Amino acid sequence: MSKPILRIDSVRKTFGGIVALDCLDLSVAEGTVTSVIGPNGAGKTTVFNLITGYLAPTSGVLRFRETPLNGKKPHAVAALGISRTFQNVQVFPTMSVLENVMVGRHLRSRAGMLSSAFLPPFVRPEEKRIEAAARLWLEFVGLTAHADTPAGSLPLGNQRKLEVARALAIEPDLILLDEPASGLNSRETLAMGELIAKIRENRITVILVEHDMELVMEISDHVAVLNFGNLIAMGTPGEIQENPEVIAAYLGE
Amino acid sequence: MPIKDYIGIAIFLAIILVIPFGMENDYYLGVMVFAAINCLTCVGLCLLMGYAGQISIGHGAFVAIGAYTSGLLTAKFGWSPWAAMGAGAMLVTAVAFVVGVPTLRLKGHYLAMATLGFASIIHTVTVAATHLTGGPAGVLNIPRISLFGFNLDTDLKFYYFSWMAVILGLYVAFNLIHSRVGRGLRSIHGSEDAAAAAGVNTTAYKIQIFVISAVYASISGSLYAYYVNYIDPDPFGVMHSVLLVTMVAVGGLHYVWGAIIGAILLTLLPELLSFASDYLKNIGIQYQPDYDFLVYGAILLSIMLFLPDGLFAGFAGGFRYLRRLAARGLKWKTEKKAAACE
Amino acid sequence: MTDVLQFLFMGIQRGCIYAMVAIGFNMIYNSTGIINFAQGEFVVLGGLMMVTLTMAMQWSMISAFLAAVAFVTVVGILMERLTINPIRNPTVLRLIIITIAVSILLKGAAMVFWGKGSHYMRHFTEAPPIEIYGATILPQTLWIIGILCLVVAGYVLFFNYTITGKCMRACSINRDAARLAGINDRKMVMLSFALSAGIGAIAGIIITPVIQMDYTRGALLGLKGFGAAVIGGLGNSMGAVAAGLLLGIIEAMSGGYISSHYMDAIALVIMLGVLFLRPGGLFGSSEVIRLKEF
């Protein structure tokens, strides 16, 4: 693999007596869609939390393009170019859909407390740029019609799309999607798959944690299988489906 | 800032300008000055609690620091009142940083108790540090403040001065709310994890807004000192901090106008109650000022149980309901007419 | 030597009260995850009611004790039923403000019924102070220590050897699992409020002869009791007892050797220090703090 965009080297994470990740080695190639699958408790969301700075590894190093991620706070990780969505969707419920995405533009804007408080005319051009960019990303995911709706009143499928729009508004190089199809019906899942393909077309690397095997096998370039905190297999969807260890672990198709 | 906020401020300004003409005597002007002072603190507190979602049951301490700094620098060291107010704001900024950094890492109840503890400590210091603060006797002979050469020595002049300060405070608050910063604050309140993932430095923002709300409190404390020309530890006890939270919560935690409503209502409450007590006496109930606490507690509890988003949200909801009723009534009327024509 | 002992006795006396208030905080925290800001008012109400029953109505100590505790327990149950239980989807902020409102209400009620003055109550036993190495210890202090021991013993027995107690512990560890096992978690919450109020009342009753209770005492007692709870590790009642005693002793020592004016502030500064540096408390672990909700 030419320089991977993300490298996880011998990462171990324990919580008291529980071993969430045993000794994880994983590399993700740039511009690909990599899915991380595995039974519940295999450590998948822990990996996301380690990458994005919500947790610190007990040992080992996570690297984003040679920059170590260990110990960085989540907003600093976002500033490097990594964004994410959450397993239980975290929109800002009282803010409108448009405002939610505008928060995603936070890192691409600069107005601080003092200029915002006392010099609003100076800040207005930047505000217009933020709004325009946010509307573009709303259109990308197909939520333009709902721009002024309070985010909390959207159905789950649209909330997941909103989270993706917000994550994309950061203009990341790497986006982590945590179970984006969870709770969606088959039509919505297909739409999510198309959205992920569109993201890849924009040359953003995608790492996906998912349980929906159809979606995983359909959209992924690579699949990594975790079990009991270890990587037990990594390869193309076809290879994974044939892998006896994986089948033993949980596919059981 | 959206148009409706400008309109709101304009209407508010108009009301402020007109009120003194309806006042029979200066006593009520004085009560309105206190209301303005509380409004200013509550606007800042509302930014902290309603928009950033952080709790502080200790803001009375910042009011006290502002008041004492202004009082001491002017009365004992001859500073000009404006310079002293600025010094108070700077001191409070420093204190708020020192207190905020470790405290704002705590969550929910821990934060509430820590701020309460801080307020209690400051109160103890104001009483005990006699050589510095004058102890229970306080600071006397605080000079009056003057604006553009006008010495603000009457209730009426201070009334306009203090309410202009409130309007300025509102203007700044609205600017913040409708900016990138305001969005960042609201996102922290909506979901701190998601806000951080979107690149918002949540800790820095919390600390900054804590400092800003403390400065609001400090300035209101200075205004108090220049109005009453005398300060002692009494008005700045722990109960005042609790009362401030009550004002914001009753008025409407998530709306700056709610903070204004809550502050005005609860400052005026003792007066309203003494009016009511005359009426109550006629129907046989003896109301004494001692019952005030009971009434505060009952009001706060009722609002929190039945109207948790505060009075302002209740009014707004009420308006919406009436509008819907009117729209439906109109529709019904036109349908009747159409039916009658057939 | 005399001085140290004197301050030690004073510290133990105050520390026992902080320990009991802390136990009250912990019980409600364990069953609901919230801090009850009205805890201090339970103490005040217990003391004031006891004063009325023994001094104004001339009841015997024992019956007054039981009646006062029962009264405050009922107040605690009412608080839970009327203000906590009915709330669906509570937010932290709303619950905090609700308990603050109740504390204001109770304080207001205390002021209305008992006035603004402080109230004297006679000691449990009319015996002279006992001399030890030149320092004096009041018999009331011995009562206080003794009753604390009884309360702690009762606490340990209840939570470890009775079914109800074990059910409450189950609820606090994993509420959903406890519900699935058939435990009525809503009733456990009500019970925790009742017990908290009762223990608060006991604390108020035993300290009133020494400090003359008045309606304003609640805030500071509550704050310091919370401080003891935090220092001992929130949720850990054995730690709370140790921390309460420690806090009382340090407070008394500082009052004696540094300055009595700043005594109240010192206990709070210690509480803030622990909150900032080791929020898990001296006897808790920091992982635990991150796993609990608030």
- Both B315 and B199 in one domain: the answer is no
- Both B105 and B236 in one domain: the answer is yes
CA distance B274 to B271: 5
Q: Which of A54, A55, A88, A92 to mutate to test the interface with B (most CBs of B within 10 A)?
A: A92
- The tokens describing C165, both together, are 């107690």
CA distance B33 to B159: 5
Count of C-beta atoms within a 10 Å radius of residue A100: 30
- The tokens describing B96, both together, are 């708020």
pTM: 0.89
Task: Check pLDDT > 80 for residue C276.
Answer: yes
Instruction: Tell me which residue in A79, A99, A113 faces B199 most closely, judged by beta carbons.
Output: A79
A126 with B212: Cβ contact below 8 A: no
Q: Quick check: is B162 in a domain? A: yes
Q: Quick check: is B272 in a domain? A: no
C153-178 confidence digits (pLDDT tens): 998 888 888 888 888 888 777 777 88
Q: For chain A, which ranges sit under pLDDT 70? A: 1-2, 250-253
B186 with A92: Cβ contact below 8 A: yes
Q: Quick check: is B332 in a domain? A: yes
Q: Which of B113, B120, B191, B292 to mutate to test the interface with C (most CBs of C within 10 A)?
A: B113
C79-128 confidence digits (pLDDT tens): 999 998 888 877 878 888 899 999 999 999 998 888 888 888 888 878 88
- CA angle, B185 then B190 then B192, to 5°: 75
pLDDT at residue B173, as a whole number: 94
* Number of structural domains in chain B: 2
CA distance A213 to A129: 40
Task: Check pLDDT > 90 for residue B193.
Answer: yes
- Both B320 and B250 in one domain: the answer is no
CATH of A6-251, picked from 3.20.20.60, 1.10.287.610, 3.40.50.300, 3.40.190.290, is 3.40.50.300
Secondary element (H or E) of residue B323: helix B310-341
A127-163 confidence digits (pLDDT tens): 999 999 999 999 999 999 999 999 999 999 999 999 9
- Both B87 and B230 in one domain: the answer is yes
B199 with A107: Cβ contact below 8 A: yes
- Both B249 and B152 in one domain: the answer is yes
Task: Check pLDDT > 80 for residue B282.
Answer: no
Listed residues B265, B298, B325: the one ending a domain: B265
pLDDT at residue B342, as a whole number: 57
Pure H helices in C115-216: 139-161, 163-173, 175-180, 185-211
First to last CA, chain B: 50
- Where is mean pLDDT largest: A249-253, B255-259, C234-238? B255-259
B179 with A93: Cβ contact below 8 A: no
* φ, ψ (nearest 5 deg) of residue C265: -65, -30
B190 with A99: Cβ contact below 8 A: no
Q: Which of A89, A91, A103, A118 to mutate to test the interface with B (most CBs of B within 10 A)?
A: A103
Helices A120-141 and B180-190 cross at an angle (nearest 10°) of: 50
B172 with A106: Cβ contact below 8 A: no
- Both B227 and B170 in one domain: the answer is yes
Amino acid, res. C235: G
Domain ranges within chain A, ordered by starting residue: 6-251
CB pairs under 8 A between A and B: 109
- Both B261 and B314 in one domain: the answer is no
In chain C, the residue whose alpha carbon lies closest to the alpha carbon of B189 is C93
Gyration radius of chain C over CA positions: 19
Count of C-beta atoms within a 10 Å radius of residue C277: 8
Give Cα C179 distance to the centre of its chain. Answer: 28
Long-range contacts of C263-270 (CB under 8 A, 24+ apart): C264/B120, C264/B124, C264/C220, C264/C224, C265/B120, C265/B121, C265/B124, C265/B125, C265/B128, C267/C224, C267/C227, C268/B117, C268/B120, C268/B121, C268/B124, C268/C223, C268/C224, C268/C227, C269/B121, C270/C227, C270/C231
Q: How far is CA C199 from CA B280, B299, C212, C266, in A?
A: 39, 28, 19, 25
Range of the domain at B315: 310-342
A106 with B198: Cβ contact below 8 A: yes
Q: How far is B260 from chain C (nearest CA, A)?
A: 18
Q: Quick check: is B55 in a domain? A: yes
B290 with C272: Cβ contact below 8 A: no
Instruction: Tell me which residue in B190, B191, B199 faces A106 most closely, judged by beta carbons.
Output: B199
- CA angle, A56 then B180 then A143, to 5°: 85
CA distance A64 to C49: 66
Q: Quick check: is B291 in a domain? A: no
Q: Does any CB of chain A come closer than 8 Å to the CB of residue B168?
A: no
Q: CATH number of the domain that B114 lies in?
A: 1.10.3470
Q: Quick check: is B296 in a domain? A: no
Minimum mean pLDDT among A37-41, B43-47, B307-311: which range? Answer: A37-41
pLDDT band at B225 (very low <50, low <70, confident <90, very high): very high
Q: How far is C254 from chain B (nearest CA, A)?
A: 15
A75 with B183: Cβ contact below 8 A: no
Ordered by where they begin, the domains of chain C are: 2-121+133-291 (1.10.3470)
Q: Which of C93, C114, C230, C274 to mutate to test the interface with B (most CBs of B within 10 A)?
A: C93
